[in-house]
Amino acid sequence: MSDLKPITLYVHARGPNPKKVIIFLEELGVPYNSVVIANSKEESYLAINPNGRLPAIVDPNNDDLTLWESGAILEYISEKYDGDNKFSPVTDKEKWQAKQYLHFQMSGQGPYYGQYMWFNFFHPEQVPSAKERYGEQIVRVFGVLDRILKDKEYLVGDRLTYVDLAFIPWDKLALGVLDGELAKKYDVENKYPNFYAWHKRLVERPSVTKAFTEA
Ligand SMILES: N[C@@H](CCC(=O)N[C@@H](CS)C(=O)NCC(=O)O)C(=O)O
């Protein structure tokens, strides 16, 4: 990877979606420079991502390709920079399974968890029913993952892939939020042991520490 120019990665100071990309780049040892965007609705950033959200990348190794939506970025990194399939699916069957889980992460995990955070920390009014609804949805997703991970260590081919990595930041945030209140209320460790053990294995990785501290 030494002949590669660093990818520019636009990140949010706290947001979990950019951390998915950081974790994968760290795992692969692909060089990157993080640029923290304070106001994602400014014209200069909208020129990179018209959706005004983080992350986005610009890849100088590929004609300055500009890409946004974290799931698409992960797939791009997998195809472009994981030629040895260290963290990528190998067989056709596994590739489709990886897509399935990545779509689930993008549409069934992130948005629900994001709404939970919104109604707990940012919404100008207290809406208890919304907090309850999204808390329940998070726990429902824990249950789905727990069922998938029965007798399995990882989601695809029982080998760590970028799809496992994609779930880490939102799960970590949800389990840590309000001093672990959600985790305690729903007894996550005991009720969803397959999910909990998988998550614990994943967060022990140095790439995750890096994403949540330095990057
Ligand atoms: N589906 C998008 C969601 C991106 C997203 O919502 N990012 C958050 C940070 S985790 C963000 O940009 N927040 C700042 C804002 O909305 O202005 C993706 O996965 O890339």
Residue 97's domain comprises 92-213
Measured by CA distance, the residue closest to atom 9 of ligand 1 is 15
- 40 alpha carbon – ligand 1 mean position (Å): 9
H or E element at residue 36: strand 32-36
The answer to the question of residue 1 being in a domain is no
Check pocket membership of 207 for ligand 1, CB cut-off 6 A: no
Same domain, 99 and 185: yes
Helix, strand, or coil here: 90? coil
d(CA 170, CA 175): 9
Structure-block tokens of residue 94: 């596994």
pLDDT by 10s per residue, the chain, length 215: 679 999 999 999 889 999 999 999 999 999 999 999 999 999 999 999 999 999 999 999 999 999 999 999 999 999 999 999 999 999 999 999 999 999 999 999 999 999 999 999 999 999 999 999 999 999 999 999 999 999 999 999 989 999 999 999 999 999 998 889 999 999 999 999 999 999 999 999 999 999 999 76
Same domain, 69 and 116: no
Give the chain's domain count.
2
Closest C-alpha to 169, from 97, 214, 114? 114
CA 138 to chain centre: 15
Ligand 1 pocket, mutate which of 53, 103, 112 (most atoms under 8 A from CB): 53
Predicted confidence at residue 179, as pLDDT, reads 83
Helices 206-213/162-185 angle, 10° precision:
70
- 185 alpha carbon – ligand 1 mean position (Å): 27
d(CA 101, CA 93): 13
